[in-house]
A = this chain, B = another copy of it.
Amino acid sequence: MASSPIRAVIGQAGGPTAVINQSLVGVVQGCLEAKGIDQVFGVLHGVQGILDDQLIDLTDEEPATLERVALTPGAALRSVRLRPDEEQAARVVRALDRHGVRYLFYIGGNDTAETALLLLQAARERKQELQVVHVPKTVDNDLAVTDHSPGYGSAARFVALAHMGDEQDNRSLLGVKVNVIMGRHAGWLTASAGLARESGESGPHLIYVPERDFVMDEFLSSVSDCMERHGRCVVALSEGIHDAQGALISESRELDNHGNVQLSGGGLGEHLIAQLRGALGAGIRARADTFGYLQRTFPGAISEVDAREAREVGRAAVEFAVAQGGVSGSVVIQREKGREYRVRYELAALEDLAQKTQVMPKRFLDGPHDVSPKFLEWLRPLVGDLPRFGTLGHYPIPPA
């Protein structure tokens, strides 16, 4: 009797990114080339799809199709937010066992790393031969251990480009502009707005991240100072900014004219504009934008380095998994020392990433509302070259 084929399964979870399918294709290619793997399956909607028997065969996908899928934002295998409990985890690994699956590659963030760990433990408990490798992705860049995460560079590129354009808009029609950026607990994505600055005059003039407590009075007086200095003010801030007690500013309550508590409707930007009008005068031109989901899937702002690394973490995941007869863990990116930007891939223990949040270190921040030059230097290679804009000279004509 021939031995049964050895199978690998790939799933995707959490919020998608612009390059998450690069990782998917990297895993597929790695599996097709790996000696120890005979067939590669995908599962729709992550672990939910394993419970629901939603497996598809990826072994015979055309290389051209895979390359086109790699360039497509969003999760080609569809995503899921499910964090299985122990009973579900046991059901998942039993289903994988029935399908002869020896390797599970799970692409996602820190929740996904936790699920991967749970599945690994469930398999170990029943002495099932299963390796689980977590393939990192997140626009928030909040995964532990790794220097940075695939998905972040492209989202950061979107935020930087958006601020480059918005800066020109704000120069054209002066006023206060507040941009609300994704990031509940970590300010990495908001901080990338700093790359948009071309000179000391350029916005964003103020950058607020959740790593610092947000003090409304400091914000209002900083905007006021900025208006006096530049005649305008562009502010980038995280949706997750909070006060010293940890309460989200977006959930601030205020009394309406009737003395009733009023929710600001999720509109952090609107709330801050109202505060600014109260402090600086109702006549001030003040606008807010919330960048929303465009940050994670806009097709016109993909970073080449990010796309390449996303592919490579997928391939690396397979290499690690089949090495030494089978290993589990999470693929992390380490930056090589030296001037030139180079990285290597390593495998970390799932325990070191599961449910951990990496916030920005102090050396990347500067005072209550800025990032440091060190941070921008660290970030630049991940985002790639940005356009260089032009400015007219100033040759004033004397009054006639």
Using a CB–CB distance below 8 Å, which chain A residues touch chain B? 12, 15-16, 18, 41-42, 53-58, 60-61, 65-81, 95, 98-100, 158, 161-162, 164-169, 171-174, 177, 256, 258, 260, 262, 264-267, 270, 287, 289-294, 296-301, 387-397, 399-400
Q: Is the CB of A292 within 8 A of B289?
A: yes
Q: Is the CB of B72 within 8 A of A390?
A: yes
In Å, the complex CA distance between A235 and B143 comes to 33
Q: Is the CB of A299 within 8 A of B400?
A: no
Q: Is the CB of B392 within 8 A of A56?
A: yes
In Å, the complex CA distance between A166 and B270 comes to 24
A7 CB → nearest B CB, Å? 9
In Å, the complex CA distance between A172 and B92 comes to 21
Residues of B within 8 A of A177 (CB): 293
Q: Is the CB of A56 within 8 A of B395?
A: yes
Asked, given contacts A172-B74, A265-B265, A300-B300, whether A388 binds B68 with beta carbons under 8 Å apart, the answer is yes
A175 CB → nearest B CB, Å? 11
| 18 intermolecular pairs with C-beta atoms under 8 Å apart | A53-B397, A65-B391, A74-B165, A74-B169, A74-B171, A75-B172, A75-B173, A79-B173, A165-B298, A169-B293, A260-B260, A265-B267, A266-B270, A267-B270, A289-B294, A290-B290, A298-B300, A300-B301
Q: Is the CB of B299 within 8 A of A67?
A: no
| CB-based nearest B residue for A28 | B392
Q: Is the CB of A56 within 8 A of B294?
A: no
- Choice from B65, B173, B294 contacting A392 with Cβ under 8 Å: B65
Interface contacts beyond A68-B390, A78-B173, A162-B294: sample of 13 additional A-B pairs, CB < 8 Å, sorted by A: A16-B172, A16-B173, A53-B397, A56-B395, A57-B397, A58-B395, A65-B390, A165-B298, A169-B297, A260-B260, A265-B270, A267-B267, A289-B292
In Å, the complex CA distance between A75 and B287 comes to 18
Residues of B within 8 A of A395 (CB): 56-58, 60
Residues of B within 8 A of A79 (CB): 172-173
Q: Is the CB of B55 within 8 A of A387?
A: no
| CB-based nearest B residue for A58 | B392
Q: Is the CB of A173 within 8 A of B81?
A: yes
Q: Is the CB of B165 within 8 A of A297?
A: yes
Q: Is the CB of B165 within 8 A of A387?
A: no
Residues of B within 8 A of A392 (CB): 42, 56, 58, 61, 65, 69, 76-77
In Å, the complex CA distance between A265 and B71 comes to 38
A344 CB → nearest B CB, Å? 29
In Å, the complex CA distance between A397 and B57 comes to 6
A294 CB → nearest B CB, Å? 5
A130 CB → nearest B CB, Å? 15
Q: Is the CB of A165 within 8 A of B18?
A: yes
In Å, the complex CA distance between A233 and B282 comes to 39
Residues of B within 8 A of A172 (CB): 12, 16, 74-75, 78-79
Q: Is the CB of B299 within 8 A of A387?
A: yes
Q: Is the CB of A293 within 8 A of B166?
A: yes
Q: Is the CB of A98 within 8 A of B400?
A: yes
Residues of B within 8 A of A293 (CB): 166, 169, 177, 287, 289
